[in-house]
């Protein structure tokens, strides 16, 4: 395999466990998924609710064992969950510091270099001023920044984020996505799930569309995310409009919500 490949999925699959009482058959929620991301790529994962985005991200992060196929990782993975609910009153700095927990000895405490790494990580997401604030008092956008800092404090080469922009306003969405783009430019490989095609168009180098368990599309956002693909993805007619102020490939995707049933639900591939 090529040396610059940081993370790759090979024929990855996941099967929901069989529940005997419900008498259901084992169901694949992902099957035969393969893609390859190089260093510095920013991949947006799009798909309808329940298609298995989170499962895929957790398999990529190594938090869930793959049902089939394998994940190849070259580097340390940092996983950023959608939300964390600390039971103790932690400061933002302490939360960031916990990114170092995996590298700390079982009977050890963080040392000065760990504090330095945590402060540097907070500074890198431009959240140094939040260090002393209680984590649970932060706004949604600030929490997301701190959680990203926590992943960076672990010196992650691959950053995997589960809908980091969920429940954020447009401005904060732009801040998070811009930050991910900056990190990618610095050589971090980023995989993030999102429900906004616009994020993929404006910031991502790759898009992974999950239509259903067996069908997916992977490639450059502008190429892969045409109107047909987006309409199929969201089960809604979607129009794609070029943005005049971005001479070139920047696009806007506009869903036509009122035409909910105008689009045929399934199309042959």
Partner 1 sequence: MNTALLTLPAAASARNTTNNENRKIWTSTWILAALLLLALIAGLTLGRYLIAPTRVLEILFSGSGFDTRDPEAAMAARVIESVRLPRVLLAALIGAGLAAAGAALQSLFRNPLAEPQLLGVSSGAAFGGVLAMLLVGDGQPLVIGALVFGMLALAAVFWLAGGKAATAGSGTVLLVLAGIVVSGVFAAGVSLIKLVADPQNQLPAIVFWLMGSLATADRDRLLLALPCVGVGLIALYGLRFQLLALSLGEEDARGLGVKVALARALTLIAVGLITAASVAVCGIVGWVGLVAPHLIRMSFGADHRNFLLNVMLGGAAYLVLVDTFARAATAEEIPLGVLTALLGAPLFAFLVRRIGHGLEC
Residue from 84, 120, 196, 254 in contact with partner 1 (CB under 8 A)? 84
- Closer residue to partner 1, CB minimum distance, 128 or 254: 128
x/- letters, 34..73, toward partner 1 (CB under 8 A): ---------------------------x-x----------
Q: Does the footprint of partner 1 cover residue 87 (CB under 8 A)?
A: yes
Helical segments of the chain, H only: 53-61, 92-97, 112-124, 140-153, 170-185, 197-203, 221-224, 227-234
Which of 85, 77, 185, 176 minimizes the C-alpha distance to 126?
176
Q: 78 by DSSP, 3-state: which?
A: strand
Residue from 104, 222, 226, 227 in contact with partner 1 (CB under 8 A)? 104
- By CB under 8 A, the residues from 144 to 173 that bind partner 1 are 145, 150, 154, 171-172
238 with 74: CB under 8 angstroms? Answer: no
- Closer residue to partner 1, CB minimum distance, 40 or 140: 140
Our CA angle for 149, 152, 154, nearest 5°, is 120
Residue from 10, 36, 136, 263 in contact with partner 1 (CB under 8 A)? 136
Q: Does the footprint of partner 1 cover residue 178 (CB under 8 A)?
A: yes
Q: How far apart are CA 202 and CA 181, in angstroms?
A: 10
Six token digits for residue 5 = 């490949």
11 with 69: CB under 8 angstroms? Answer: yes
Binding site for partner 1 (CB under 8 A): 61, 63, 79, 81, 84-91, 94, 98-99, 101-104, 106-110, 126-129, 131, 134, 136-137, 139, 141-142, 145, 150, 154, 171-172, 175, 178-179
């Amino acid at each position: 395999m090529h040396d610059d490949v940081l993370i790759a999925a090979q024929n990855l699959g996941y099967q929901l466990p069989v529940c005997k009482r419900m008498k259901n058959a084992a169901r694949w929620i992902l099957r035969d998924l393969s893609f390859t991301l190089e260093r510095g790529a920013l991949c947006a994962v799009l798909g309808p609710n329940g298609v298995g985005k989170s499962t895929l991200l957790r398999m990529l992060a190594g938090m869930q064992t793959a049902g089939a196929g394998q994940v190849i990782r070259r580097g340390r993975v940092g996983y950023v969950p959608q939300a964390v609910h600390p039971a103790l009153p932690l400061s933002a700095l302490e939360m960031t510091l916990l990114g170092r927990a995996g590298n700390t000895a079982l009977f050890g405490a963080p040392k000065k270099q760990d504090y330095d790494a945590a402060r540097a990580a907070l500074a890198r997401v431009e959240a140094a001023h939040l260090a002393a604030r209680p984590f649970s008092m932060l706004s949604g956008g600030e929490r997301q920044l701190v959680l990203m800092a926590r992943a960076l404090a672990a010196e992650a080469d691959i950053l995997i984020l589960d809908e980091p922009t969920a429940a954020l306003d447009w401005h904060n969405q732009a801040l998070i996505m811009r930050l991910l783009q900056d990190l990618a430019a610095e050589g971090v490989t980023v995989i993030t799930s999102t429900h906004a095609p616009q994020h993929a168009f404006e910031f991502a180098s790759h898009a992974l569309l999950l239509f259903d368990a067996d069908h997916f599309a992977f490639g450059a956002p502008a190429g892969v995310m045409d109107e047909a693909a987006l309409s199929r993805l969201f089960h809604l007619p979607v129009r794609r409009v070029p943005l005049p102020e971005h001479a070139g490939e920047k696009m806007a995707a506009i869903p036509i919500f009122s035409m909910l049933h105008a689009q045929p639900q399934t199309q042959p591939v």
